Structure formats: C-alpha cells, structure tokens
Amino acid sequence: MRKRQRSIITGVMAAAAVLLLTGTLSAQAPAQAKTKVVNKTVTYGQLTNKQPHRLAAIREAARQSILQTTKAKSSKVAAVYQVKLPTHMNKTAKLTKDGLRMPLLTNSFKLKHVTVPYSELKGKVLNRYLPKADKTSKVKTNKMVALTFDDGPDPTLTPRLLKTLKKNKAHATFFEVGQSVSRYPKITRAVLAGGNELGNHSWNHPDFNSIGTSNTASQVMRTNRAIYQATGTLPQYVRPPYGNITAAEGRKIQQPIIRWSVDSRDWSYLNTQKDINEVMKDTRGGDIVLMHDIHKQSVAAVPTIIKRLKAKGYKLVTVSQLLNYQALPGLQYFGAHDFRTAGK
C-alpha cells in the first residue's frame, strides 16, 4: 500500500469538487431563500441541484430512517435495500417541521412514507433547504486530521484506545470487521458512545477485487447488518480491505468509500516508535491516517501521535467532520479535498 495517495483533480473535477464538497450553487441555479420553507413540496432535483450522488445520499439516509421508524430487527437490513427509493430528479417530497417526508411505493415495511430528519441530510442536500443547525459551513481542514483504525473491534486493545481518545479529547473513525462486531458488540457500541464513528470494513477482510461484485456486496451487507444489530444504526461508510475496489463494486455498495492519504504501515512494523515516526513524517492538515486497533504497538503509539499532532495545531476529528459531512455514495475519498469516482 502506498504511503500517500493523491489524485490530480482536473479543471472539470475541481469544479465538481467545489460543487460537491462546499454545496456551492452552479451559475445556472436561481437564487432562493436561505432557509427551508416548512410544508413545501420540492423535487429531488431542487434538493440536490440535479446531482445523482446527492440523490444516492438521500436514499442512504432514507434506509436508515425506515429501519429506525419501524424499529426493525437486523434481519430486515437486507430488505431495506429492496425498498424502491427515488432515482428520478422530477419526483417530489415535502419539507416538514420534522424532516424530509418521502412518499414510498408498496414495500415490505408497510410504510406509505418515511420522514428523514434534517440532521441526517446535512451536507447531502443543498443548504437552503435545511434548518440553520444542519447547514454546513466552510471548515479549516488545514488544521484537521482524521485518525482511522481498521480491523477491530479487539476485546482488549479497542477499549484501551477509546480511553486514550477520551483522555485527550480526540475522536476517530473505526472501520470494523463484521465477524468481530458480532463477537464483541458491546465494544462496537462503546465506540459510538465515545463520540467516535463506525465504518464497514467487510465481514472477514477479503480482497474485494478477488471475490467479485456479488460476494463483495454480500460482505458489506452482512457487516451492515452486524453493526445495525449491535448499535441500532447503519454505518455510513465502507473501507475496502487493502483499499481495493472496482467501479462496479463501488456502484453496487451504495455507500461512500473511505480510503486514506497516510498509511502508517503499522501492520508491517509492529514497532511503536516506528509507527509514531511514520505518521508524524507524512501527516498534514486534511489527511486521513490509516492505523489498526488490533496491534498493541499501534495502540501504544496513539498517545504520542495525538500529543505531537496537537502541538502542531491539528484537531483530531472523525472522517465525517474532516469531509464536512459531505461524503457521497459512488465516490471514494482519500483526504479532505481528494476524491474521485469509486474504483477509479
């Protein structure tokens, strides 16, 4: 795995980056009120500025709301992906005081509509349709770093790491393996309870490129179910083992793909001081740092890494905070302003 993975964003991609990551309106978009109007019917094209990735994000949020509205058991996770959700920009929904009310076709959950809270749509629909509390604003990513930890939860090391994060008032994102989540659900819940976030890292860590699209989707679905069973919530993100994913798999998964820009290679060193040196040598503002919470040497390195990064003026945040809550399905993210189509 490369230590740093950077893409060269062309002029066209740069324009897309501004549009997708800042929510800036296109030159053709008409000026509208800065706040949403309650009980107003809107099209998905209006909500998303006709961007398919944003519409995919609305569908992702709707699945979460369907499960929580019906208090569904984990056995219904696969079924929620069978619910027909909007794919056409001219379809309509309604802005209500509680959220976006979306009409549904006949489905196994027996819902005629679902209301998605505005908090779940932050960064996914244009700011002018959201309450003030849920609007995104510019963030100084040059002063932010996202630490991420793969392959847990570990029954001993993950709790130790959570204590370190809490003591240092830092947060991180944990990409967990489904079979371990099923084994240690209490620890998975503790990750969220500490103000951190969870991501999907497959069921048993295969190379997606070697198992095919169908099996990849099954790996992701099975882990989504395990995380939902443990926490009552679906994970927003997927990180493919070894960072490998095809374009077809990226489309099939229907969740944002999170990669990294700094690879600590802690799995190869198994040496605390080398882990510290590697992270500190390469990390800059806006980076996503890859580590693992299944190696004691890696967990032992974290207190010093946090201390030194803070001394440089960096704030340790979750992936969602670093990406300003604007990660979208179908895209993969390497850092704060470094993204491309999944599989590319």
Catalytic residue among 134, 150, 151, 338: 150
Please tell me whether residue 248 adopts helix, strand or coil conformation. Answer: helix
- Taking alpha carbons only, the member of 55, 61, 60, 104 closest to residue 83 is 104
Longest CA pairwise span in the chain (Å): 58
Q: Which of 264, 162, 181, 275 is nearest to 219 (CA)?
A: 181
What the block records as the tokens of 227 is: 């995380």
Two structure tokens written together for 247:
């374009």
C-beta of residue 324 within 8 angstroms of C-beta of residue 332 = no
From 266, 292, 293, 295, active-site residue: 292
Q: C-alpha 135: how far from its chain's center?
A: 18
Q: What is the rounded end-to-end Cα distance, in angstroms, of the chain?
A: 16
Select from 328, 249, 285 the least CA-distant residue to 17: 328
Q: How many CB atoms lie within 10 A of CB 36?
A: 24
150 is catalytic: yes
**Angle, CA 204 vertex, CA 199 and CA 205 arms, to 5°:** 70
- Which residues are known catalytic residues? 150, 292
